[in-house]
Amino acid sequence: MKNSREQKQTDDPVRAARVDNLLRPEVLNAFDRTAFEHDGYWVWEGILTDAGRKQFTASLQKLQHMNDCILIDTDWASIDFEGRGLSSPPPEQITPEFLISCCGGSEQMPSFLRSETRTYMHDHGLLGPAPTLVTHGFESLGVMPEYFPAGYDDFIMDVTTAHPQMIGLFRKLFGDRFVLDHCLMLNRAAGSRGRRWHAHQYREGQYEVEDPIGTGKALTPEFLQQQCIRTLCYPEGAEGGEGAELGVIPGSHLYRIPYKWNTERPDEDTDMQVNWLKGKTHAITGKPLEIVHLSLPPGSMVSFVHHMPHHVQHRPPGAPTRWGLLMAYRTPDPAASPAKWTAGIPTHWVERTAAAGKLSDAEHRVFEADNPLN
């Protein structure tokens, strides 16, 4: 007979989906805080165990398939967008041929699903009454799986909210308290354009001391205390020569410039070398900053301060998909207005789940707002 603790664990689908032996402890324990603060990034090379890697890949493949099926199976023309205060999708974006061309990877959905409809799905959910999103064999959460992978996959929910080894990893980055900023799939299929050089700002940018181009005058040897850190997991790797590798600039986070976060991003390496990088040095060593392209073997993760400019290379035609999950967390902002949940989690989903008593304590901790309402 099971004791009540075991009973509770098996009743909980997120707990049941856990791969206990997810991370290799020796890789986790090798984290060097000084090097991380100095360089602005840390590579967790081959940190996933074989079992962890297998499940991570399977989950991302399943989630991509769910996303593709919703795109193809939904009768977009029948949905009342205008009644919800949204523009209807342009007819050329909802033809079967066009929708099929959007499948197989992330950041390639039709543009009508990437702007105001994405925000609507996040805030309210594109939920019933029908006609709405069509799912076969799984429940629609009113949002696309690419934008809410944890909601559609219990293993990913566990990894991003509760798994003790993952929480251990995030604690090394943040200390005890951190909140979800956002979590997305980043599966880069053959032909993916990647992303040109850019960086990101902390929250809505209210603490930035430099504009998106930056003067470089705010260089400081001190590591930001208010910090958003992206952790990317590549279960099948992102290796040199295959495309979709991440480029970083060690030490550039100390300039704290949210480079081109909201403008066009045309810069390739040579543009950075002749413009942005010119004259920029490491705040501690004084050495000129340089671009580094990471080659990450299967089962690796990389964590980086999201103020650091970074770049993702094109994925050439014919290359296999680079599977990826982005987990971005941040230190809570003590000056944020009290609220219930972070903006990183679909509001309708977290409200419904909490009201049904189905939000675990672990999920509650990661999803709650900077300064939670009592």
Ligand X SMILES: O=C(O)CCC(=O)C(=O)O
Which residues make up the interface to ligand X (CB under 6 A)? 186, 188, 195, 230, 232, 246, 310, 312, 324, 326
299 vs 324, beta carbon nearer ligand X: 324
CB of residue 245 to ligand X, shortest distance in Å: 8
- HSE-up (13 A, CA, CB side) for residue 102: 23
- Smallest distance, ligand X to C-beta of residue 232, A: 5
Quote the CA–CA distance of 288 and 88 in Å, as a whole number: 50
What is d(CA 268, CA 327) in angstroms, rounded to the nearest whole number? 25
- Which residue, 186 or 362, is less far from ligand X as judged by CB? 186
Query: Residue 295 and residue 45: Cα distance in Å, rounded?
Result: 10
Query: Shortest approach of ligand X to residue 173 CB, angstroms?
Result: 15
352-356-361 Cα angle (round to 5) = 95
For residue 57, give the H/E element and its range: helix 50-73
CB 179 within 8 A of CB 249: no
> What b-and-e string marks burial along 166-182, b requiring 16 or more CB atoms within 10 Å of the CB?
bbebbebbbeeebbbbb
Question: Please, what is the minimum distance in Å from the beta carbon of residue 122 to ligand X?
Answer: 18
> Shortest approach of ligand X to residue 322 CB, angstroms?
8
Q: Work out how close the CB of 276 gets to ligand X at its nearest, in angstroms, rounded to a whole number.
A: 16
Nearer to ligand X, 164 or 297 (CB): 297
**E-state strands within the chain:** 41-44, 179-185, 195-198, 228-234, 246-248, 292-293, 300-305, 310-312, 325-330
Closest CA to 259 of 215, 303, 194: 215
Kindly list the strands in the beta sheet with 195-198, ordered across the sheet, starting from the edge strand earlier in the chain.
195-198, 310-312, 246-248, 292-293
Cα–Cα distance for residue pair 234/228, rounded to 1 Å: 20
Tell the smallest beta-carbon distance from residue 141 to ligand X (Å). 22
Closest CB 341 distance from ligand X, rounded Å: 22
Handedness of CA 69, 72, 73, 74 (dihedral sign): positive
Q: Residue 257's beta-bridge partner residues? A: none
Q: Which is nearer to ligand X, 319 or 326 (CB)?
A: 326
The region that residue 126 occupies, defined by phi over 0 for left and psi between -120 and 50 for alpha, beta otherwise, is beta
Shortest distance, CB of residue 178 to ligand X, whole angstroms?
17
Comparison of 70 and 238: residue with beta carbon closer to ligand X: 238
Nearer to ligand X, 198 or 282 (CB): 198
Nearer to ligand X, 232 or 289 (CB): 232
- 120: burial class by Cβ within 10 Å (0-12, 13-18, 19+)? middle
Number of Cβ atoms within 10 Å of the Cβ of 274: 10
Q: What is the nearest approach in angstroms of ligand X to the Cβ of residue 184?
A: 8
Q: Which is nearer to ligand X, 70 or 232 (CB)?
A: 232
Q: Which is nearer to ligand X, 76 or 259 (CB)?
A: 259
Between 325 and 350, name the residue whose CB sits nearer to ligand X.
325
**Nearest to 147, CA basis, from 190, 175, 114:** 114
Q: Minimal CB distance to ligand X: which residue?
A: 186
